[in-house]
Amino acid sequence: MSARRSRPSLYISVDIEADGPIPGPYSMLSFGAAVAGVQDADGFTPADPVERTFYRELRPISAEFVPEALAVSGLDRERLEREGGEPATALAEFSDWVREVSVGAQPVMCGYPASYDWTFLYWYLIRFTGASPFGHSGCLDMKTLYATKAGLPLRAVAKGTMPRELLSRRRHTHHALDDAIEQAELFANLMAWTGPGAR
């Protein structure tokens, strides 16, 4: 039986900033994306994550918010209520961008941790566009990727526990595009890493 042929995977690092723990009652206020690289039968090829990026700030969809969550991003909800993009427009533009950068490949969202960012991104895509360019399961969690390669329990993993050479030299600023780019570099380093003790 021959191996099933599949298209390459194009990994897109996504970071979101929100004003609460779950979408619906709370709002995704901004999101950024950066192409991290492509994987085919010959392996993974990193991309320069600043070359192909996407960023939008959004109008809140509800009046509810958690002050502590809002403070993380430093975004101004009152300004976003006036000036933020309409979610339906921004998510449609994002879907078009994902399709454009992933011609010939299957797009895969990657995040750290993907569980939070994917929850908001997928909910917003389905709610406001009716579809996801990633499908329903096209996401990869960098935290899990590291835990698997390092042979560690998932709960033992944090960026502070990772070898320094895996981390991006960029600061984690809680600006969604900055963080998407930073985490794209982390992802490329993780894909190249062969595990503990590797030179």
For the annotated catalytic residues, the residue numbers are 174
C-beta of residue 111 within 8 angstroms of C-beta of residue 105: no
Question: Among 81, 46, 78, 26, which residue's Cα sits nearest to residue 168?
Answer: 46
Instruction: Provide φ and ψ at 41, rounded to 5°.
Output: -65, -20
CB-based burial, 41-80: b 16+ in 10 Å, e otherwise: eeebebbebeebbbbbbbbbbeeebeeebbeebebebeeb
Residue carrying the six token digits 């909910």: 123
Burial (CB count within 10 angstroms: exposed 0-12, middle 13-18, buried 19+), residue 110? buried
d(CA 189, CA 166): 5
